[in-house]
Chain A
Amino acid sequence: MDFRFSDDQLTLAESVRDYLAGTHGPEVLRRLDAEGNRDPAIWQGLADMGLTGLLVPEAQGGLGMGLVEAALIAAECGRACLAEPLVDSAFVGVPWLVARGQTDGLDEVVAGTRRIAVPHPINPWLADSEGAALTSVDPLRNLAVAEATEADDLLLNVGALMSAAQLVGLSDAMLSQAVEYAKVRTQFGQPVGAFQGLKHQLASCSVAIEFAKPVVWRAAQALQDGLPSAPVHVSHAKLAASDAAMLTAETAIQVHGAMGYTYEVDLHFWMKRSWALCGAWGDRAFHYHRVEEALLGGAQPIGPEHTFA
């Protein structure tokens, strides 16, 4: 048993983090928001890094990696508040197609010329696809109405997992924006971050985020390994990440004071993405219900004779 990431996994996540930090800062979000949300150059950059083909098998020209690597990178996409539908297409649509053996045309996905959008009844809309347009609360999300005919569990679980992974990255970013603001904003002759009334709230966010992360990684590994308990691990992850993100969004706005309520402060992009993802691929009520059923319905054995790694 080993709960660490390999050096390769960490290096990969770090390189994506650095790339997005360097090319996809808040000024890019501002530009996209003003100019129609999408920039082919950003998408091409992601494809050039190999990210569109991360989960495409090597035989189809992809990197052939697994859901754990994808979850790590999804968290980085959340941290950068990436607007392009990389996670929806490459980390949700692609593994679902691969699991069904539908690998035709994945080379185009690798090249960045094709995107995968798969509908599910729990999500009656899709990112960046055909269909009647919807306006999302998240100004950088392009949604269209979708008709889902099949309620596939794997699709739901991968979608929920990748939402959870993005949520922990979004939470990290919101916490760090709030901490930086609290260090420079002064009132009563000192940085507001020196007041316990404020630092204790941010400490609570830190607790929620630090504890949500390993649950997300655990769920990614469980789903990658095809464990029968994987759906419950995914629900744990989605709930923990949603709780962390909503608490951090609420607190970060509070810490920014009236500025936090303005369109001018970048924070709202992250807050709205969090809000949108908390509802996507099963809301909190849905995932609570799954955990309750597993615990109280008898599917998850209880008692001291059962381990819970």
Chain B
Amino acid sequence: MKLGFSPEEELFRKECADWLNAEMAGEFRDIRGITKLTASPERRKEWEQRLGEARWGCIGWPESWGGRNATLAQQVIFAEEYARAGVPGRVNHIGIELAGPTILAFGTEEQKQRFLPDIAAGKTIFCQGFSEPGAGSDLASVRTKGRLEGGEWVVNGQKIWTSLAHISDWIFVVTRTEEGTKGPKGLTFLMMPIDQPGIEIRGITQINGDAEFNETFFTDARCAADSMIGAVGEGWKIAMGLLAFERGVSTLGQQMGFRNELDEIIAAARANGAAQDPLIRQRIARAEIGLRLMRYGALRMLSNTDHSKIDGAALTYKIQWATWRRSLGELAMDVLGQAGEVTDGSTYEWGTLPNLFLYSRADTIYGGTNQIQRNLIAERGLGMPREPRGDI
């Protein structure tokens, strides 16, 4: 174990910080400090392209595909400096962290050539079409149908909770391509261009008033026959492979965001005197410890180079951060007191901390609910007997 950074790594840190700070003080100063995911979408797409041009968009990818083949320590450093410089979150998170690695792992050479350079350059924004109204936790029960017709896939059905679909260029979709199949069999993983008559997107307003996610309707929507990843019927395997990337290095950047949120709560508690209250003090200490648990847990998880092995820590990561952040939102409200329950003016626009409280209600639900996470931990991690599960 060696927990400090080497002189070379500190030089790399300076390189990251210098570049990010210059951008945030220069051409992109208007987006500095934005925390809302839906704010200024066009400028943030330009920012994705700027990152791509300077090869900072996906530093963990191989150099041949526009990355820097960065080490874990370098990715930690970049994530820290990114958050520190007040740069807003990535609107192409799905493309960089999920679609790209999936294409890299399972795609054909031709698909890599077609998609990876544009994702790396920030020119192709991806969104994810997994959930359906009848397929939430039971993801394998998807009913959106795909059929091959005249050298094209034709897709009919509906996806839901498609984050940022309204600003995306492509969507990857898990479709049922074998009539009469149930569960994980008979599914195919397709990539479809969004700008076409067969795809309609309707925003869903969330409890915080924002509309980050959508319903996405497919009515004879089309994509080329070779737009599938893996073979016909391998959709479940690809989807599960993709979900494994979700526990990757992106968690490190997320933690710097969490750090900033906790620091903002501490600053608020000092400013309004809540920091004198013994109960609040203890809850702040608890939040700090929870953050440290995630930090060192993620560093250990990512240091494990054998990713084929199911690591207990990897299974537990989602529930830990989601539950922690939901509590953080509650702490923020208790620190603000009644002042957190009102906002100036007539719009339903909340400050950072009330928004954190509202938004964090979703954390324990999306990407696998806490209940599903506990099933996975118990059955895959601890080897406990499986629940009876329908007729899969």
Contact = CB atoms under 8 A, between A and B. Distances in A.
Contact of A193 (B281, B294, B304, B385): B385
B296 A218 contact: yes
Contact of B299 (A179, A194, A214, A302): A214
A211 B378 contact: no
Interface residues on B, range: 35 or more
B293 A215 contact: yes
A259 to B, nearest CB: 18
A291 B382 contact: no
A296 B281 contact: yes
Interface in B295-327: 295-297, 299-300, 302-304, 312-313, 316, 319-320
Nearest to B260: A304
B335 to A, nearest CB: 12
Nearest to B284: A295
Contacts of B304: 4
A304 B1 contact: no
A177 to B, nearest CB: 12
Contacts of B46: none
A132 B69 CA distance: 63
A2 interface: yes
Interface stretch (A43-51, A133-141, A201-209): A201-209
Given A206-B316, A296-B281, A194 B387 contact: yes
A212 B284 CA distance: 18
B135 interface: no
A309 interface: yes
A200 B382 CA distance: 11
Given A215-B296, A309-B3, A196 B375 contact: yes
B55 interface: no
Contact of B76 (A179, A236, A304, A309): A309
A213 B320 CA distance: 14
B297 A210 contact: yes
Contacts, number: 169
Interface string B366-391: 00000101110111011111111000
B374 A204 contact: yes
Contact of A3 (B86, B256, B299): B299
A182 B384 contact: yes
A4 B378 contact: no
B282 interface: yes
A288 interface: yes
A150 to B, nearest CB: 27
B377 A203 contact: yes
B13 to A, nearest CB: 9
A1 B384 contact: no
A183 B288 contact: no
A24 interface: no
B385 A191 contact: yes
A221 interface: yes
B378 A200 contact: yes
A295 B9 CA distance: 27
A210 B294 CA distance: 10
Nearest to B383: A179
B315 to A, nearest CB: 8
B382 A1 contact: no
A187 interface: no
B378 to A, nearest CB: 4
B48 interface: no
B303 A4 contact: yes
Interface of B: 1-6, 9, 72-73, 76, 80, 83-84, 86, 256, 259-260, 263, 266-267, 269-270, 275, 281-282, 284-286, 288-289, 291-297, 299-300, 302-304, 312-313, 316, 319-320, 371, 373-375, 377-379, 381-388
Given A2-B1, A304-B86, 18 more contacts: A1-B3, A1-B73, A3-B300, A3-B302, A4-B303, A68-B1, A175-B382, A179-B383, A194-B385, A196-B374, A202-B384, A203-B319, A211-B293, A217-B296, A236-B289, A292-B282, A302-B263, A302-B266
